[in-house]
Amino acid sequence: MEDEAAPHLMANLWADAVGEGGYMASREICRCCDQHKARSPRVVRFHAQRQDTASSGWQRLVELVEEAAADGREVFQPLVELSPTERRQIVTLPPTIAKLTDVKHLVLYGSNLVRIPPEIGAMTNLEEFTPYTSHRLHWFPYELTRCRQLKASTVSTRSLYGNFKIRPPFPPLQPGRASIRDLDISDLDPKVWGTDVIQACSVCSRPIAEAGLYQVWISLRVGTDTLPLLVNACSPACIDTLPIPPDGYVPTPHTGGSGIAQPRADYS
């Protein structure tokens, strides 16, 4: 009798991107988006967590960014060089990632991130973006569209606002302001604004301090995925220049909330 064929084993494509202790030990559980079924429309909010810049994980990450900028590496996967405790301390990336102009592949597999800073748009040679299994990362900055070379992405799409499988709602955004005189844009509440600082227009790069602040959501194809992008615009005119979303998504920029009608979820 012939031996039965050996079972086919699926390779772990990201085995070298996990780091010490595995990714489950280094992140918090998020229940913002149901991974398996659609829910009735409800109000969701941004994650309120602020980055602890005094933590050892943050200090080491800042060092790693500087090292990568200095040596011109093309693949940057900083989390593998942090302990599980340190990885859990990282909820965003330092704005100095703008220096990583040689990086072609950014790997953030299994992170505890809740937001990506707009400075990612300065990574002009970025070709591949891998925040896979970062289940607390529900949206991305519109500035990601400035990475013109970005052709491939690996994202846990079921964790995204407005994803075509589950259609979770988008957090409601604040009313537009023609002036920010009564708003400290250097110390914002992340639960309200999505971030703690907004410096420049996502569209034209004009300083927000010199203009107004108008936030909208838009879903666009970036890399190989359609992503929910947060736009911080200085004027309605900048919003008017935004591209048209692909079929199957909210067809115009919008301000989120449970009242926004989305296409039906695709359970297949």
pLDDT for 21: 56
pLDDT for 266: 77
> Distance between CA atoms of 246 and 233, rounded to whole angstroms?
21
DSSP 132-162: TT-TT---EEGGGGG-TT--EE---GGGSTT
Q: pLDDT tens track of the chain, all 268 residues?
A: 334 444 443 344 544 555 555 545 556 888 787 666 656 557 899 999 999 999 999 999 999 999 999 999 999 999 999 999 999 999 999 999 999 999 999 999 999 999 999 999 999 999 999 999 999 999 999 999 999 999 999 999 999 999 999 999 999 999 999 999 999 999 999 999 999 999 999 999 999 999 999 999 999 999 999 999 999 999 999 999 999 999 999 999 999 998 899 999 876 6
The total of other beta-carbon atoms located within 10 Å of residue 169's CB is 20
Q: Token pair for residue 51? A: 């980055």
Antiparallel, parallel or unpaired: β 140-141 and 128-130: unpaired
pLDDT for 30: 84
pLDDT for 221: 97
Torsion angle, alpha carbons of 160, 166, 167, 169, to 10:
-70
DSSP 112: -
Q: At a CB cut-off of 8 Å and minimum separation 6, what does 207 contact? A: 199, 200, 201, 234
> Distance between CA atoms of 202 and 110, rounded to whole angstroms?
27
> Distance between CA atoms of 73 and 247, rounded to whole angstroms?
37
Q: Per DSSP, what are the bridge partners of residue 218?
A: 229
> Distance between CA atoms of 58 and 52, rounded to whole angstroms?
7
> Distance between CA atoms of 196 and 49, rounded to whole angstroms?
10
Nearest residue to 188 via CA among 162, 213, 169: 213
> Distance between CA atoms of 65 and 95, rounded to whole angstroms?
10
Q: CA of 88: how far to CAs of 15, 29, 112, 264, in Å?
A: 19, 11, 6, 35
The position carrying tokens 């039906």 is: 264
